[in-house]
Amino acid sequence: MLTNVLRRLKRTSTKQLVIASAFVFALAGAVGLGLSTRQTTHAADCSGNAVLKCGVTDANHFINRVQNNEQNTQPAYDQFGLQANEYQKFRGEAKQGVSYRDGTIKVDGVTVATDAWSIGRFQKPYSWNWNGYWASKATDVNKSDIPVMVMFNDKGEMDFAVMYDCGNPTTGKIVRNNYECKSLNKSAVAGEKDTYMFTVDAPHTANVKIAKVVYNFGDGTSETRTDLSGVKHKFTKPGNYTVTVSVTFNLPGGKTQTVTSSTCKTLVTVLAPFYDCIQMIPTALNDKKTQFRFAVKTSQGNGATLKDIDFTLDGSNTTTGVTTKDDKGMIYKDYTFAEDGKSHKVVAKVNFNVADGVQSKTCEATVTSTKAPVCELPGKEMYPPNAPECQEECKPGIPKGDAKCEEVLSVRLNFLRPVRVAFSASSLAHLPLVL
């Protein structure tokens, strides 16, 4: 045959070749179109067993024929789960699937039913009566894998299925989908203040897939994940925050469901940092009370930490950044004063590290140094009490008790020989004066 074609081509004119070429291309296109059409159409079952003789081409075609109640089909479909108020839903949502010879019905490779069976108009050796029709298992009646249209309910479960080629409805053991947002769990992140790890427990069956997990932290921020790996979040301001989570699931048939629950929330309390200068405690370091230690008692927490202290003496002499601590953990500063009996005020400016920088609190204490003892004799105040200059005198320049304080008096009596009598100055004062 090929030889004859070649011989004819040799005798063909150019014009005939052009026409022949165009015909070949057109034929090829037609063949290709036919193959393409064949891939998207279904074999028509025009036997008496078909519920809808010769089947349907798509969802619209099917619903049109059902609405016309061709061959009194509405009661059968109604009993299989396709109600009149769902016709439009079927038009827009029906998905193409396959009823396999092993009894499974799948859509997009996902098993939506097992132990499938369908009805027809003819009785067969393995069929049973079902409301005026004859029901048969797919494993008995399916000679090959049969294309079907499947409508799903809101949970992504097969609600109704029908075969393209004959309009016979089919069902089986429906695969039920379970999914829920069971709990939201939190755990504090070690070493990171006010930071938590959140995870959600959202169990679901195999036909259900996680689409997204949305965490709302209650502080004006949220975060989305596409799995259940969890998120870490830091709260930056004090307050009480209700953290919630919602889980969106992808279901068979292109359905999605977003769920949450009362257990998919948790409360986070972020305490405000606290810090204060409680007391400055002065302690004398010597008996003269001229040396003092000023220790500062502080309180801080919830993220506030003690940084250092600036000490100011008597309003002018300031020492900054003191961090030296005593055995009780209190920062202190030592001062030495003169023995002048004067009061001295020490002010402590306590600096704390907080989230938004450094904050300060103050406290103060006043001490009076001991005044050194001085001579109490008038005009002798510049001398200490034990100084020689601070002694009472019996006469100018001679302190009491000195031997020079005794005097000798000579008395001449006219009628007696001269007699020398010695008196002390104190005794002389007690002699009567005789004229």
| pLDDT at residue 16, rounded to an integer | 52
Other Cβ atoms less than 10 A from the Cβ of 314: the count is: 14
**Contact, 297 vs 304, CB < 8 A?**
no
Q: What is the pLDDT of residue 432?
A: 55
pLDDT of residue 403: 77
Sheet holding 195-201, edge to edge: 183-188, 195-201, 231-234
Structure tokens at 263: 């257990």
Sequence-distant (6+) residues with CB within 8 A of 139 are 101, 102, 103
Q: What is the pLDDT of residue 382?
A: 77
Q: What is the pLDDT of residue 413?
A: 46
Residue pair 171/117 in contact (Cβ under 8 Å)? The answer is yes
Q: What is the pLDDT of residue 420?
A: 57
Residue type, 126: Y
What is the per-residue pLDDT for 394?
A: 78
pTM for the complete prediction? 0.65
The H-or-E segment that residue 22 falls in is helix 14-40
Give the H or E element holding residue 19: helix 14-40
Is residue 133 within 8 Å of 121, Cβ to Cβ?
Answer: yes
Residue type, 102: D
152-188 exposure pattern, b = at least 16 Cβ within 10 A, e = fewer = bbebbbbbbbbbbbbbbbbbbebbebebbbbebeeee
The dihedral sign for the CA sequence 115, 139, 44, 42: positive
Cα-based distances in Å from 149 to 11, 54, 91, 211, 250: 55, 16, 10, 25, 20
387: Cα within 13 Å, side-chain hemisphere: 13
Alpha-carbon span 246 to 268, nearest angstrom: 18
Q: Do the first three CATH levels of 196-270 and 274-368 match, i.e. the same topology? A: yes
Q: What pLDDT score was predicted for residue 305?
A: 96
Domain spans, the chain: 2-40, 59-174, 196-270, 274-368
What pLDDT does residue 378 have? 83
Strands 398-399, 95-99: pairing kind: unpaired
Q: Is 276 exposed, middle or buried (0-12, 13-18, 19+ CB in 10 A)?
A: middle
Look at phi and psi of residue 132 and say left if phi exceeds 0, alpha if psi is from -120 to 50, else beta: left
Tell how strand 265-270 and strand 231-234 pair up: unpaired
Architecture of domain 196-270: Sandwich (2.60)
SS3 183: strand
Phi, then psi, of 86 in degrees rounded to 5:
-110, 5
What are φ and ψ of residue 7, in 5° steps? -60, -40
Topology of 274-368 in CATH? Immunoglobulin-like (2.60.40)
Q: Compute and round to an integer the Cα radius of gyration of the chain.
A: 56
Q: Are strands 110-120 and 105-107 parallel, antiparallel or unpaired?
A: antiparallel
For residue 252, what are its two tokens? 């068979």
**Separation of alpha carbons 318 and 130, rounded Å:** 102
Residue with tokens 């010695």: 422
Tell me phi and psi for residue 77, to 5 degrees: -65, -35
pLDDT tens for the 435 residues of the chain, in order: 434 434 444 454 554 544 444 444 444 444 343 333 333 356 799 999 999 999 999 999 999 999 999 999 999 999 999 999 999 999 999 999 999 999 999 999 999 999 999 999 999 999 999 999 999 999 999 989 999 999 999 999 999 999 999 999 999 999 999 999 999 999 999 999 899 999 999 999 999 999 999 999 999 999 999 999 999 999 999 999 999 999 999 999 999 999 999 999 999 999 999 999 999 999 999 988 999 999 999 999 998 999 999 999 999 999 999 999 999 999 999 999 998 889 999 999 999 999 889 999 999 999 998 888 888 778 777 788 788 878 877 777 777 777 777 765 444 444 445 555 555 555 545 555 444
